Amino acid sequence: MLCQQGLRAQESRQTQPSTPLSLTNPERKAVVESLCKLLDECYIYPTVGAKMAGFLSQQFSRGIYDTFRNPQTLAYQLKKDLLLISHDEHFNIVFDPAWVRRQRDATTKRDSLDLLRQDSIQSAWRNFGFAEVRLLPGNIGYLHLTNFENPLYAGETATAAMQFLCHADALIVDLRNNGGGYSTMVQLLASYLFDAEPVHIIDRYSRVGGHPGNNPDSTQSGNYTQDWTLPYVTGHRLPNTAVYILTNHQTFSAAESFSYFLKNRKRATIVGETTGGGAHPVDRKIITDRFYIFMPTERPVDPITGTDWEGVGVNPDVEVPAKDALLTAQQLALEKELAGRPEDIPLSWALAAVKVEQHPVILGAALLQSYIGVYGDRKITFEGGKLYFQRIGASAYAMVPLAADLFMIPELPYIRIQFIVENGKTVGVKRLYDDGRFMQDEKEIAR
């Protein structure tokens, strides 16, 4: 079941004809009638589904859709009308005759797998949503995930990413602007953050085979399933690694499911903004020969909260503007690690660098120019309002002030430069190293 990729990724895969044939009155009628039947039979809330179907029928009877000749325009209007009643952002109606034809022609298991492979090719071009995996200063792992793709094809990439990060002291998962995807990828990634003993992720109720009514505790028949973390994953797990998840208002669906689950299990700290509020997994259903719909046919229920995040989103533990979320999470992670290792120089340096990026130290040009000079086989120059550090004959590196007399060099994170000032004059420099060593050089006197 697709947990909704904000429909952005799915829409990018559509094979729209350049000149769609104009709609006829019989086709408009067929689209509305078929859509109403699907809403009545499949939408996760039966009462709301019937209300939407009634509204569309009424609109059709009033001739509201008679003026629409362009199929894509009709699809957009029908979506607007569904949202007017349901406020469910998972809905989307798509004009795509080629997709419908491929689906109807897929009569065997091999045909169905071929269709999945076609989707996987385009997903691979985006590296299955794994946009960036790296280590930040202080041994903080960073995973930027743009979509939760199908692990049937994205599983190897997911495993490789988690193994790259498995020795990090903390993990930041960036889900800002992640529109969602497959619940099975949520299950896979979450499994790496727990021990082998399965943890209950979510209960899911579906209209298939009956319906549970509007109450998730209803005794009415329906299809009931559970998602659990996996007892086996390839490689190392990270059950004791502190996790921070970055969110914004565009974090949606499966990305919210991942966040909601880890937040409620006290397994992650959510940093950023409240998410988009789309909880209902969707399915693609054919309307007619040229239209299909993304329709919510399930609803999740968290076994701890007894509810979900539909319409309200996942609230952050630390609320900051999305643009500040990464630095805030880095600071939180480094402060936590440093509390247990207060003498760790690389950690304290990494924290100082994050803080100065959040709140830069501004020094006047006169003070900076007072540091210009030659110090042993190193020299300090001034250009464009910045100091530069250079071993004579080698490359020059920009220096970033941490204090009036202390500087870091982003390209050389293992070193700090501290100027020695006596009686208002710069007389030397200390090169401080992150292993505790230091070297001191006197400033050469100009002749």
181 and 73 housed in the same domain: yes
Residues 263-318: pLDDT tens digits? 999 999 999 999 999 999 888 999 999 999 999 999 999 999 999 999 999 999 99
Q: Residue 370: inside a domain, yes or no?
A: yes
213: pLDDT confidence band, cut at 50, 70 and 90?
very low
Average pLDDT across the chain, whole number: 91
How buried is 344 (Cβ within 10 angstroms: 0-12 exposed, 13-18 middle, 19+ buried)?
A: middle
Predicted pLDDT at 447: 55
What is the rounded CA–CA span in Å between residue 90 and residue 86? 10
Residues 103-112: pLDDT tens digits? 888 888 887 7
Instruction: Decide: helix, strand or coil at residue 44.
Output: coil
What is the rounded CA–CA span in Å between residue 69 and residue 17? 15
Last residue of a domain, one of 324, 359, 394: 359
| Residue 224 structure tokens | 């009931």
Q: Residue 192: inside a domain, yes or no?
A: yes
Percentage of the chain with pLDDT > 70?
A: 92
Q: Residue 298: inside a domain, yes or no?
A: yes
Q: Residue 426's domain spans which residues?
A: 365-442
394 and 342 housed in the same domain: no
What is the rounded CA–CA span in Å between residue 268 and residue 336? 13
7: pLDDT confidence band, cut at 50, 70 and 90?
very low
Give yes or no for residue 126 having a pLDDT over 70: yes
Domain CATH number, residue 246: 3.90.226.10
What is the rounded CA–CA span in Å between residue 329 and residue 351? 11
| Residue 82 structure tokens | 């569904």
229 and 277 housed in the same domain: yes
156 and 33 housed in the same domain: yes
Predicted pLDDT at 3: 54
Predicted pLDDT at 20: 63
What is the rounded CA–CA span in Å between residue 178 and residue 4? 10
Q: Residue 447: inside a domain, yes or no?
A: no
More confident residue, 114 or 332: 332
161 and 269 housed in the same domain: yes
250 and 319 housed in the same domain: yes
298 and 377 housed in the same domain: no
Predicted pLDDT at 217: 41
Angle at 126 between CA 159 and CA 195, to 5 degrees: 20
Q: Residue 115: inside a domain, yes or no?
A: yes
321 and 369 housed in the same domain: no
Last residue of a domain, one of 328, 359, 390: 359
Please report, for residues 219, 270, 298, the alpha-carbon distance to residue 43 in angstroms, rounded to integers and kept in the order given: 18, 31, 8
Q: Residue 116: inside a domain, yes or no?
A: yes
81 and 158 housed in the same domain: yes
Predicted pLDDT at 105: 87
342 and 403 housed in the same domain: no
From 356, 418, 402, 365, select the one nearest 387 (Cα to Cα).
365
255 and 396 housed in the same domain: no
Q: What is the pTM (predicted TM-score) of this model?
A: 0.87
Residues 375-413: pLDDT tens digits? 999 999 999 999 999 999 999 999 999 999 999 999 999
Last residue of a domain, one of 359, 389, 407: 359
Residues 57-72: pLDDT tens digits? 999 999 999 999 999 9
180 and 243 housed in the same domain: yes
Number of structural domains (the chain) is 2
